[in-house]
Amino acid sequence: MRIATFNVNGIVSRLPQLLAWLERESPDVVCLQELKAEDRRFPKAAIRAAGYGAIHHGQRSWNGVAILARGTAPEEIRRGLPGDPADDQSRYLEAMVGGIHIACLYLPNGNPQPGPKFDYKLAWFARLIRHAKKLHESGTPVVLAGDFNVVPTDLDIYDPTSWKKDALLQPESRAAYGRLLRQGWIDSLRALHPGEAIFTFWDYFRNHWDRNAGLRIDHLLLNATLAPRLIDANVDRWVRGAPHASDHAPVWIELGKKNAKRATKARTIGTLGKKSALPAKLKPVLATLVDRPPGNAKDWIFEIKFDGYRLLARVDAKVVRLFTRNGHDWTSKLPHLSRAIRALKLKPGWFDGEIVMPDDSRKSGASFQSLQNAFDSERTSSIVYYLFDLPYYAGRDLTQVPLHERRALLKSLLHQARDPVRFSEAFDAEPKDLVASACQLGLEGIIGKRAASTYNSRRSPDWIKLKCSNRQEFVIGGWTDPKGGRAGLGALLVGVHDKQGKLKYAGKVGTGFDDKMLLGLRRKLEAIATPRSPFTSRTADARSAHWVKPTLLAEVVFSEWTQDGHLRHPVFQSLRTDKPATGIIREQPVAPLGPDVEESHAGLPARLRVTHPDRVIDPSSDITKIDLIRYYARAGTLMMEHLAKRPVSLVRAPRGITGQLFFQKHLESGEMEGVEKLDPALDRDHVALLAIAKPLGLLSAAQMNVVEFHTWNATSNAIDKPDRMTFDLDPGEGVRWNAMQEGAELMQSFLRQLGLTGFLKTSGGKGLHVVTPIRRQHDWDTVKDFSKAIVQHMAQVLPNQFVAKSGPQNRVGRIFIDYLRNGFGATTACAWSARARPGMGVSVPIAWQELRTIKSGAHWSVRNVDDRLLIGNKPWSGYAKHSVSIGPVMKKLRFKPT
């Protein structure tokens, strides 16, 4: 079957060209757009005479769609895109033809942008994405065909610079198209022509057709049910060259019987992800321990939880390097794996997997202890490498591509692989049955991964682990002497870190060893012996124990935790060397992602209802509402140190950061749990200000489309006396980042000369913030005027670098130091607040010695800040101790308050 889409650009005026094409090419199904004719003017007789049945939805002006079928009448299913009953534009038709669900669409153009037409385009696109998800999951073969009015990538246009302001190329348009593809749709034309500049539209102006200055905006997308039947796809260019032609050419696909090989090719060579250089380092996604299988198991992929080491393979040309999850290079330890991967002749990429040692003595066929023994004896040639993910490949960043697509590509690349490299297969069964079988076979458990999940280098609720028993790593802090005839040692003293990073004692582990293990462990422990206990809590056998530096890890199986935080019935399994001791905490299972994504999210309070979680807030990074809420859930405790008791203003983005933003400092209507109203007397307008009372307030606010949190320079219990000064270093046009770094260092130096201490943080945008703690002794006007005097002094001494006057014309090539943040009611973005700017940078506290390593004021973003959360507020330790009276400082600057 051949299915085509064609923007005819006026079916009445271009009927001869349409009929000539139908006669010559004889497509089986045709989707037409831009009919420019009411239904009564649709040329039914001529279409019927050409051998085609038709359904149509016409309209005057620029709209109108139709579906034609050769030798039969399309069976209409839907007329109009659902989601907005008030939308009366004729842009969408659905019909069944030959067992295939045909959706014909004419997506709004959106020009001029910005404006109401572009807003309508994005709203229409959002409705299409919601409806397309249902179509894709229907199990019926579906094709979305039509004029999408989107140029997906720069490969799809002759010169993007000439069209950069056009709605067809805007980041929001491209991001929406990307979201559609990530549902699992295959862009058929691009899938079969991956590197070709192939076009479907040529403007009438400036000889675009003669110069082949075209665009690709007409697409046929196939769902996973239909994709295996894709045989061919192309463009009938000759139609565009005919007299009085449409500015579009017909695009067609050829479908045959189900062909697994062709489906694999479509996935393999499709334009997944985005172009990217291969990063030098990569941190893996980590799974979250859960207490039960997810309720919506059909949306998950389940694999064996291997009893081994996590290993990442970096392939670049003929060089293959193998890295542990902590970035240690193990290539020299596993030369047979390096050779096996190199023999596959893969393109550059990062491959994620787990190494195991087969053990025929176990039902499960693999043993962590035998793997450890292989390394100890340097006999590693039997180790097998199971690969399960592919975050980068062939110059493409696939981290934001759905997991099921990454795995399909990975499987196609490994179809000729032999031992010791294998693909980690998924199991099609109920997760509860899989867990039962895994436990019966002696496996550690199973891993579940949300099929649509992205690859984020952090512990993710979209990757879960279900264990057969309580098993985790513990930090070894000491040992006891053996008793009786036992050799080596009596028991290991182990612990875990609490939230403050302190090592807490968790109990003794005295079983699970053989004599060889006991003697080997004793030698390793004696090598790291230390006179003091590393534990911060009370320890058993403290008087007779031998202490060690807390660097070694023991993997332990145990029955349960006692009420006082100790292990019951612990059994030693092995030493672990692939994880950092500092990251070992007590693993506590959480509830998995619930069946209703709008009501339940792992890691979030159960009572928090998140509406429209998949709404994209930032089209440039595809960050969604739930991404932001989850970020604030992770950063909430750190952020509360900066929010505590301070009035806060909120920046809301109901339509995302590209829409209109609203600044709110009063709770005008509704309630946000965790956000409290302050005494109205605190504000000079006698209206209640806001404060974040607890971390839940951040999540409640983000649910109400709040992106940014801005704080005052005073706390609510002393609102008239500021306790800090804030200097916002804002670069003017032409100021390079190294000049910003130098400017901040000069600011720090001058503050030191005055006897003040400046604490530094990124702004999350273009600049830097320097915050100086002061004692609550002066009113707002005095503090503001003094901060102005500081800035004016710096601008006078270094006029080529700094300016004290606002306005873009004043700061060209110079840094404006904004002292106006120090007035009553003025605010500054709080530390750890996300910013409503493309990329969604985060304001992060940093140490002065780190400044030269930072690449911009948005060095960290919602996407990459997770590792920084582990460092937290440590760069600002001692902040309160550096609070000083500014009275003596004023005298140094010869400043006299008015």
Task: Report the catalytic residues.
Answer: 305
Q: In terms of Cα–Cα distance, which of 154, 149, 161 is closest to 122?
A: 149
d(C-alpha 442, C-alpha 211), whole Å? 67
Q: Give me the DSSP letters along 216-242.
A: --EEEEE-TTTGGGEEEEEE-GGGTTS
β-strand partners of 575: 554
Residue 711 burial class via C-beta count within 10 angstroms: exposed 0-12, middle 13-18, buried 19 and up: buried
Angle formed by the axes of helices 737-754 and 780-797, nearest 10°: 120
Neighbour tally for 515: CB within 10 Å = 10
d(C-alpha 757, C-alpha 749), whole Å? 9
396 conformational bin, left if phi > 0, alpha if psi -120 to 50, beta if neither: beta
690 and 648 Cβ atoms separated by less than 8 Å: yes
Alpha-helix runs per DSSP H in 344-481: 368-376, 403-413, 431-440
d(C-alpha 847, C-alpha 807), whole Å? 30
d(C-alpha 776, C-alpha 723), whole Å? 5
β-strand partners of 3: 29, 253
d(C-alpha 240, C-alpha 167), whole Å? 23
Per the listing, tokens 């192939």 go with 198
**Tokens (6 digits) for 762:** 């990124």
Angle at 724 between CA 723 and CA 726, to 5 degrees: 155
d(C-alpha 819, C-alpha 10), whole Å? 60
Dihedral, CA of residue 323, residue 326, residue 327 and residue 328, to nearest 10: -70
The one-letter code for the residue type at 623 is I
Angle at 840 between CA 836 and CA 845, to 5 degrees: 100
Q: Give me the DSSP letters along 793-859.
A: HHHHH-TTTEE-S-STTT-TTSEEEE-GGGSTT--EEPTT-B-SSTT-BB--EE-GGGGGG--STTS
The one-letter code for the residue type at 850 is E
> Which positions ≥6 away from 869 have C-beta within 8 Å?
634, 635, 638
β-strand partners of 695: none
The one-letter code for the residue type at 524 is K
Per the listing, tokens 């010559």 go with 24
3 and 145 Cβ atoms separated by less than 8 Å: yes
**Tokens (6 digits) for 363:** 């039902």
Dihedral, CA of residue 746, residue 747, residue 749 and residue 750, to nearest 10: 120
Q: Give me the DSSP letters along 543-560.
A: TT-EEE-TT-EEEEEESE
The number of residues making up the chain comes to 898
